Amino acid sequence: MTLTTRYRQFWMSKIGITYMVSNIHLGITLALTESVETVYLLGRGFAFVQVGMIWSTLLVTTALLDFPTGNMADKLGRRNVYCVGLLASAVGYLIYSLSYEYHFFLAGAFCIGVGNAQVSGSLGAWLIDEKKKRGEDSKVAKTFGDTKLAVSAAGIVAGFLVGSFYTGPLSGLFFLSGSITALAAVWVWLSLRENYGESRMKWVDFQKTTVNHFFREKMLLMASLIMVLIFSCYTVFVFVYQPAAVASGIREQQLGTLFSLYLISSGVGSFIFGRLSSRLSFRVLMGLSFAGFGCGFVLFSVCNIYVIAVGLVVFSFGFGGYLPVFLAWTSKFIPSEIRSSTMSLMSTVGRGSVFLLQPAIGKMIDLFSAKAALTLGECFVIGGIVVLLLMGGENHESQVV
């Protein structure tokens, strides 16, 4: 038995911890990049509508490639596709760090979009199947919640260090993120054992089977609509909170410290919701998430850093809480052989449905003000609650055997 085999066996004997460690880099890169991205792009001389186009490029790329790469994950291996996605994202971050011209940022956004498409659903499907092999289906939501908390903790440390000690250019944070993401790809490939969906099915049959199942399963359609509204709320959030915080008086470098609040609250929300998922219904927990979004939007309209910080905590608690509940609940309606493909298809529907929203919100802020975008966000919150009410009772039985 080789040293590599022993090393991999060690990590495969601790699935929950292995999945957690495999995602730690996400918290670090979030703290380094998303905490300053809006301000960084505006500082390059771009208007809000141009910032929206950069984000839209990332989103459209992810949406168009998400479903096909989900097929690849099921057929060619979920670990392999996840690692390739990390490397593509690393290239995108490095382009961001070295660019000044608008078209280079579009190229970087494209690379990150390609990476996001391959990452989406692949490692989550890997975990679900590994848990099912061990008869631990009931622990899936808990593992997702614990992982989110660990990712947030890593981001909190990174955000604190950046906010407290980093005085260099913001571009350096994107360079560091690219380097960390590339190293994470190497670690995941060395540590995880590969698993597959239906590897013998033809590509066309794979896509046909996934699409047919998606449209037959009513709950997956409803869940996708909820995802559209969640992404819409998050789009408003990323446009508004960073400029509002800077306008209230904090330095750009201190956004990393403020982002730590986002990570703390989203991690706690995910941890708590992951445990409540076995006690409270999907509709109740998702309703609490949307309520958090609505309260956050109200508080972001006040030009006071302490009120904005409270709004950030409330919004991120709901946003962190939705993910483990959503993933565990939807997995009941997806068979193992097309799990990555179906999860990616849902992500394609969710992300692809809001790609025009990003430049539209940017233009809305340029023409009017951030308060117009916040009002639109409240409309999305109301829409999400209406959809949850239309879902009816919670006695939905999965048709998956």
Q: How far is CA 234 from CA 129, 135, 270, in A?
A: 29, 35, 16
Rounded CA gap, 53 and 183, in Å? 29
State the DSSP string of 139-198: GHHHHHHHHHHHHHHHHHHHHHHHHHH--S-THHHHHHHHHHHHHHHHHHHHHPPP--S-
Angle made by CA atoms 67, 68, 74, in degrees to the nearest 5 = 90
Share of the chain above pLDDT 70, in %: 93
Domains of the chain: 15-196+211-390 (1.20.1250.20)
pLDDT above 90 (res 356): no
Share of the chain above pLDDT 90, in %: 22
At 393 the pLDDT is 57
Between residues 336 and 233, which one has the greater pLDDT? 233
Lowest mean pLDDT among 12-26, 140-154, 284-298, 351-365: 351-365
Residues 178-183: contacts with CB under 8 Å, at least 24 apart: 178/89, 178/90, 178/91, 178/92, 178/93, 178/94, 178/96, 178/97, 179/90, 180/25, 180/28, 180/29, 180/32, 181/25, 181/29, 181/86, 181/87, 181/89, 181/90, 181/93, 182/86, 182/87, 182/90, 183/25
Cβ atoms within 10 A of the Cβ of 287, count? 17
Lowest mean pLDDT among 47-51, 177-181, 187-191: 47-51
Q: How many CA atoms lie within 13 A of 368 on its CB side?
A: 11
At 291 the pLDDT is 95
Amino acid found at 12: M
At 397 the pLDDT is 47
At 253 the pLDDT is 63
Between residues 207 and 21, which one has the greater pLDDT? 21
pLDDT tens digits for 54-76? 888 887 888 778 777 766 777 78
Greatest pairwise CA separation for the chain in angstroms: 66
Stretch 76-83: mean pLDDT: 87
At 110 the pLDDT is 95
**Which range among 102-106, 142-146, 199-203 has the greatest average pLDDT?**
102-106
Structure tokens at 269: 């929300």
Confidence category of residue 262, pLDDT binned at 50, 70, 90:
confident
At 106 the pLDDT is 94
At 401 the pLDDT is 43
Confidence category of residue 200, pLDDT binned at 50, 70, 90:
low
Q: Which DSSP state fits 334?
A: S
**Which range among 30-34, 66-70, 206-210 has the greatest average pLDDT?**
30-34
Q: Full-prediction pTM beyond 0.85? A: no
- Please list, in sequence order, all residues whose beta carbon lies within 8 angstroms of the beta carbon of residue 338, skipping any fewer than 6 positions away: 74, 197, 198, 206, 209, 210, 213
pLDDT above 80 (res 232): yes
Confidence category of residue 202, pLDDT binned at 50, 70, 90:
low
Stretch 214-230: mean pLDDT: 89
